[in-house]
Amino acid sequence: MESLTGRLLVATPALRDPNFERTVVLLVAHEEGGALGVVLNRATEVPVAEVLGPWGSLAGEPPVVFEGGPVQPEAAICLARARPGVEELTGFSRVSGAVGTVDLSGDPDALRDGLLGVRVFAGYAGWSPGQVEAEIEAGSWFVFDALPGDAFTSRPDDLWSMVLQRQGGLLAAVAHFPPDPTLN
């Protein structure tokens, strides 16, 4: 399978794992050794500024830490979007297009002029070699292209249905699938 780095994994209604039910995951790495991504639509109530001080001023709406996934929840991964025309920034590694990861050990003021904003994730989602491919084949995930704003939406709770709706056709109808069809 070709690399899915920079693409979205959108949980199908069949995926009932509480860690991933109705999630949208941006894959920041997908290689022979496995895959790594962050859940984009699980905001916490913890302000970024409370945890990472000056990085809080660069955090977009909502300016809180997100639950990036069940692996190493004490670790932080930071996504950022580069301003148009910015080619290189020290401490910024592109994932896809204008979106990349940021080294949080750096000085946020040194990156301020080159970034449109950041989003901080506690933990991440990780897959061993072949695991994400097997889950996709089993029908747990839809794979879609990401838009630059997906990781930075001000309405993260709506992201799952927004991504599905923009696919059109039958996939748009999946956006209205009830959380528990037995109660329907």
Share of the chain above pLDDT 90, in %: 92
At residue 182 the predicted structure's pLDDT band, cuts being 50, 70 and 90, is low
- Asked if pLDDT for residue 181 goes beyond 90, the answer is no
Q: Is residue 119 part of a domain?
A: yes
Q: Which residues pair with 93 in a beta bridge?
A: 101
Give the pLDDT score at 91: 94
> Using a CB cutoff of 8 Å and minimum separation of 24, what contacts does 96-105 make?
96/5, 96/6, 96/7, 96/146, 97/6, 97/148, 98/148, 99/6, 99/26, 99/146, 99/148, 99/151, 101/28, 101/77, 102/78, 103/78, 104/52, 104/55, 104/76, 104/78
Range of the domain at 134: 7-183
The answer, yes or no, to whether the previous bond of 62 is cis (omega within 30 of 0) is yes
- Interval 52-108: pLDDT, tens: 999 999 999 999 999 999 999 999 999 999 999 998 899 999 999 999 999 999 999
Give the pLDDT score at 176: 87
* DSSP H/E element including 36: strand 34-39
Q: Is residue 118 part of a domain?
A: yes
pTM above 0.75, yes or no: yes
Give the pLDDT score at 183: 60
Q: Is residue 2 part of a domain?
A: no
Q: Is residue 1 part of a domain?
A: no
Total tally of structural domains belonging to the chain:
1
- Interval 82-91: pLDDT, tens: 999 998 899 9
Domain CATH for 113: 3.40.1740.10
- Interval 11-65: pLDDT, tens: 999 999 999 999 999 999 999 999 999 999 999 999 999 999 999 999 999 999 9
